[in-house]
Amino acid sequence: MPRLKAAAADSSGDRWQMVGAGVGQRCKRQIAPAIGGKCCNPQRESRTSTVCRDGIGDGRVLLSNTTLTDLNSTLFTLSYRARDFWKSPRVTVIRIEVLVVLAACMLLFLAVFGFLRRRCTNPLFQKAVMGFYVLSSSLVTYTLGSMQSSAVKGGMYPIWALSLFILFGCADSITAYSLHDNNQMWRQIYIAYLYFFYVALIAVTIITQGSGSLPLLLLTLVAAYKFSHRTVASLLASMSWNLNKMVADYMHEEHTIHPIRDDEYEEASMKGYRYLVDWPLDKSKLEAGTSYATRTTEDAQIICIDEIWLHKDKPLSTDLKDACLSFSLFHLLRRRFFGFTCAESALPKTRDFIFKGLLQLNDDKGAVDYIRAFKVIEVELAFMHDFFFTKYALIYYGSSPAAVWSLVSAALIAITAYLTASHHWLQGGPTVVSNTTADVVITMLMLASIGMLELLQPLLYWTTIWGRVSFVCQYIRQQQQPLHGRFGCCMRFKELLAKIGSRVSSNRSYWQDRLGQYSLLESTSCNNPPEASILVIGRLLYKYTFLVDSRAFAHRNRLDPASSCKKKPGKPINLSPELKEAIYKSLQQHAADGNLTNGESSLASNGAHHLFWACVQRLDVHPTAGFSQKTENQTCSILTWHIATCYCEMETPQYQQGTDELKNVQVARALSRYCAYLVVAAPKLLPGHHYDTMCLLDVVGEEAVQFLHGNDEKDKYQALRGYVPPPEGQPTKSIFESGLKLGKQLEALRPEEKRWKVLADFWSEMLLYISPSDNVKEHIEQLTKGGEFITHLWALLSHAGILERPRQEHDPGSV
């Protein structure tokens, strides 16, 4: 019998065949019927293996068709089992569980760290915030759709869906990523409808097989409340026309219809400066007179800045008064975003407010503290950021209802958590998977996170600048009541939180507090530009791939010679007190009369009249300049003086620390590179059209590349020093050569200290000259990216009544 079985197995089993080259040998070997098995005949297996190893010629082992079939069958079985496992009820719930956790983490990140946008310029953080903001809504929608469409349901699906909905709307620190998002109100409403529709479908599918409608009802109330607040916050930031018209009409009436005499106001104490801080929104009416102005009623308890500053009570510290001043100035600056005029801008009283008031504030020792003035503007712009991109403004106008709603929401969340944890909620059913411990833990963590946010966000609000102003206004109104001596526990608690917020933020900035830097010469490469044939091929490929020539979007591409001049800014530097002092002195010396110049005033004060030519460039150097360049754009002057400053940096004497000479070098270098940085990274903040600025930068970059062509990095500065300017009276060939000519003229100034004094004063005045702007939207957008120092100067000059540069008569062909 064993021999018969072996013979049968040998005749019908799987075999290995070895075909020898030139030899008619064959070896037959039985293999195991299963993969990984052993041969039934060990002697045959050993003999066959020996023959196979010792085969003659190019022998090769071929797997029989039966074995391949078995292998394919095994792989198919494994894939089928993997698919069944992936679609199994428990794994389906786990997949959705992972999506829920991921979406919740994104939304919690935005709620906790969203406020850092206004003082963080880290690209990774900025991209993370943008990515989470954009992806979170799509991920929530996809997760809800997966819950509704899955064949099996998890018992916690409705709780998870509503929790994500609540997290989407509960973040106070970020409600919009950009100004454009505030205009998408109907889009947000449609998203809310879609979320509610998904939640309803999920709930109906599950509740019909169990119980648990009470927790869902409670969470639905919280979700509707939180999402409506998010929508109204965007509405307030984009359509609060009447709110801003009230400010504009009030300032017009205060300064034109009922103006006060010069002896009735005092800049240092703010006496006579009735700038609005707070007023009841429900006590205003539109009068049908000649002006159709919106005025407050007689019984409206208006609070102005002079009333707060003249108050001598102990609770109102200097920090609280400064916060209220910033809030008042924020109202005036916000008015410009909504297109209302500044009726007070042309009055001497307005200019005195800045130059004799804000810039002359004293510190605790009685000395002039210009740092305090910059801090007031910094806090004002923090208010501006929060109004357009957070929920704090909405909470300010309804702080008491907001606190009540937060407590109610926290209580409802706690009840929901108790009902969910103490009952086997929605267990069983043909399509409902039983809840596991992990499901309950995740649900409890989400509800706990929401509850903590609802409790902590109102407390944190009273530590913010909004809470401090709200406390001061409530305190002032309480003092106006007959029983003003009563100071309840609630007010004392708010005072404590306000003091904590002031102390914590006293040494912290509300923006990045740094200056971007860019050096044209350091960014210029001496490598050979690409061949013309490569440029032609690249443009043809672009045109026939995307159906339009690349020059429809930009006049150059990365293969052009100008691309050898990198446009990546360098490492930013801290905004030092020396830089603020230089700007402060320039404000007092060259802007106090309201007339700004692009450096001519500082050159005249330093006796450098022969350098005036560098402040007014000739247009025939670059005939492609647009009309806006002929009237507004200052890029020519900025780049000319920047190149000259870089030239002077090549041989800078070593000055001792703390000397005026070293300060001038640091100020000139920092402000020169900052203005060049604005040309590269923020051209919309500069005068003229931003695309004209970008084109001119490309032209000057190409000039630099052509001038330095053939020199390596070590010989770059030798080539610059070897430049010979044209004879007196003859124009230079390019803006780059104009910068080198100016650099040589500055190099010839004696003593050497005068060179850097001229440069430091020029750049301080030039930065002030380019600050006025009507592009309010772009300045506000920059606040979400860490902010720019030029925005602070723009706000400061706006409050001084300097809204634009004086119109100058230009010679033909000048900018």
DSSP 394-413: HHHHTHHHHHHHHHHHHHHH
Rounded-to-integer distance, Cα 360 and Cα 277, Å: 22
Tell me the three state secondary structure of residue 28: strand
- pLDDT at 31 exceeding the cut of 70: no
- pLDDT at 169 exceeding the cut of 50: yes
Q: Are strands 514-515 and 573-574 parallel, antiparallel or unpaired?
A: antiparallel
Identify the pLDDT of residue 58: 44
Average pLDDT on 407-419 reads 90
Average pLDDT on 223-252 reads 92
Residue 175's pLDDT band, with cuts at 50, 70 and 90, is very high
Residue 463 sits at the vertex; the CA angle it makes with 462 and 465, to the nearest 5 degrees, is 90
Half-sphere exposure of 287 (CA within 13 A, CB side): 14
CA separation, residue 796 to residues 325, 597, 683 (Å): 13, 17, 20
Identify the pLDDT of residue 541: 76
Rounded-to-integer distance, Cα 377 and Cα 383, Å: 10
- Asked whether the beta carbons of 121 and 784 are under 8 A apart, the reply is no
CA separation, residue 296 to residues 279, 341, 432 (Å): 8, 19, 60
Query: Which run of H or E residues covers position 304?
Result: strand 303-304
Average pLDDT on 494-505 reads 92
Residue 486's pLDDT band, with cuts at 50, 70 and 90, is low
Rounded-to-integer distance, Cα 696 and Cα 197, Å: 54
Q: Which of 5-14, 347-356, 476-485, 633-642 has the weakest average pLDDT?
A: 5-14
- Asked whether the beta carbons of 682 and 788 are under 8 A apart, the reply is yes
Rounded-to-integer distance, Cα 611 and Cα 600, Å: 9
How many other β-carbons are positioned within 10 Å of the β-carbon of residue 645?
28
Q: Which of 44-48, 398-402, 639-643 has the weakest average pLDDT?
A: 44-48
Average pLDDT on 523-550 reads 66
Average pLDDT on 413-441 reads 75
Rounded-to-integer distance, Cα 604 and Cα 754, Å: 13
How many other β-carbons are positioned within 10 Å of the β-carbon of residue 679?
25
**Residues sharing a CB contact under 8 Å with residue 459, sequence separation 6 or more, in sequence order:** 497
φ, ψ of residue 386 to 5 degrees: the values are -65, -35
Q: Which of 118-127, 411-420, 486-495, 778-787 has the weakest average pLDDT?
A: 486-495
Residues 187-205 pLDDT 10s:
888 988 888 888 888 888 7
- pLDDT at 674 exceeding the cut of 90: yes
Residue 435's pLDDT band, with cuts at 50, 70 and 90, is confident
- pLDDT at 6 exceeding the cut of 50: no
Q: Are strands 303-304 and 276-278 parallel, antiparallel or unpaired?
A: antiparallel
- Asked whether the beta carbons of 218 and 412 are under 8 A apart, the reply is yes
- Asked whether the beta carbons of 336 and 250 are under 8 A apart, the reply is no
How many other β-carbons are positioned within 10 Å of the β-carbon of residue 479?
13
Identify the pLDDT of residue 51: 40
Rounded-to-integer distance, Cα 195 and Cα 203, Å: 12
Give the residue, 758 or 191, on which the prediction is more confident: 758
How many other β-carbons are positioned within 10 Å of the β-carbon of residue 90?
13
- Asked whether the beta carbons of 295 and 248 are under 8 A apart, the reply is no
Give the residue, 150 or 18, on which the prediction is more confident: 150
Identify the pLDDT of residue 536: 67
CA separation, residue 26 to residues 31, 51, 52 (Å): 16, 9, 10
Rounded-to-integer distance, Cα 404 and Cα 490, Å: 13
Of 188, 200, 185, 89, whose CA–CA distance to 144 is shortest? 200
Rounded-to-integer distance, Cα 649 and Cα 424, Å: 76
Q: Which residues pair with 16 in a beta bridge?
A: 29
- Asked whether the beta carbons of 648 and 744 are under 8 A apart, the reply is no
Residue whose tokens read 């079939």: 69
Residues 254-300 pLDDT 10s:
887 777 776 778 888 888 899 999 988 876 666 655 455 666 666 66
- pLDDT at 364 exceeding the cut of 70: no
Q: Which of 125-134, 162-171, 611-620 has the weakest average pLDDT?
A: 611-620
Q: Is the peptide bond before 751 cis (omega within 30 degrees of 0)?
A: yes
CA separation, residue 638 to residues 641, 645, 665, 705 (Å): 5, 10, 17, 19
- pLDDT at 419 exceeding the cut of 50: yes
- Asked whether the beta carbons of 328 and 278 are under 8 A apart, the reply is no
Rounded-to-integer distance, Cα 457 and Cα 410, Å: 11
- Asked whether the beta carbons of 106 and 132 are under 8 A apart, the reply is yes
- Asked whether the beta carbons of 463 and 497 are under 8 A apart, the reply is yes
Write down the mean pLDDT value for the chain: 81
Rounded-to-integer distance, Cα 771 and Cα 764, Å: 11
- Asked whether the beta carbons of 15 and 31 are under 8 A apart, the reply is yes
Rounded-to-integer distance, Cα 61 and Cα 573, Å: 71
Identify the pLDDT of residue 723: 87
Give the residue, 522 or 779, on which the prediction is more confident: 779
Q: Which of 64-68, 77-81, 289-293 has the weakest average pLDDT?
A: 289-293
DSSP structure class, residue 425: T
Rounded-to-integer distance, Cα 729 and Cα 727, Å: 6
DSSP structure class, residue 211: -
How many other β-carbons are positioned within 10 Å of the β-carbon of residue 86?
10
Query: Looking at this protein, which amino acid is placed at residue 465?
Result: I
Average pLDDT on 624-648 reads 78
Give the residue, 392 or 529, on which the prediction is more confident: 392
Of 307, 257, 331, 261, whose CA–CA distance to 287 is shortest? 257
Average pLDDT on 729-745 reads 90
Identify the pLDDT of residue 84: 61
Report the percentage of the chain scoring pLDDT > 90: 45
Cα end-to-end distance, the chain, whole Å:
111
Residue 375's pLDDT band, with cuts at 50, 70 and 90, is very high
Residue 815's pLDDT band, with cuts at 50, 70 and 90, is very low
- pLDDT at 624 exceeding the cut of 60: no
Give the residue, 435 or 765, on which the prediction is more confident: 765
Average pLDDT on 63-83 reads 69
Query: Looking at this protein, which amino acid is placed at residue 151?
Result: A
Q: Are strands 432-433 and 153-154 parallel, antiparallel or unpaired?
A: parallel
Identify the pLDDT of residue 33: 41
Identify the pLDDT of residue 431: 66
Rounded-to-integer distance, Cα 253 and Cα 255, Å: 6
Rounded-to-integer distance, Cα 666 and Cα 660, Å: 10
Of 780, 678, 738, whose CA–CA distance to 335 is shortest? 780
Both tokens of residue 414?
């706690």
Residue 764's pLDDT band, with cuts at 50, 70 and 90, is very high
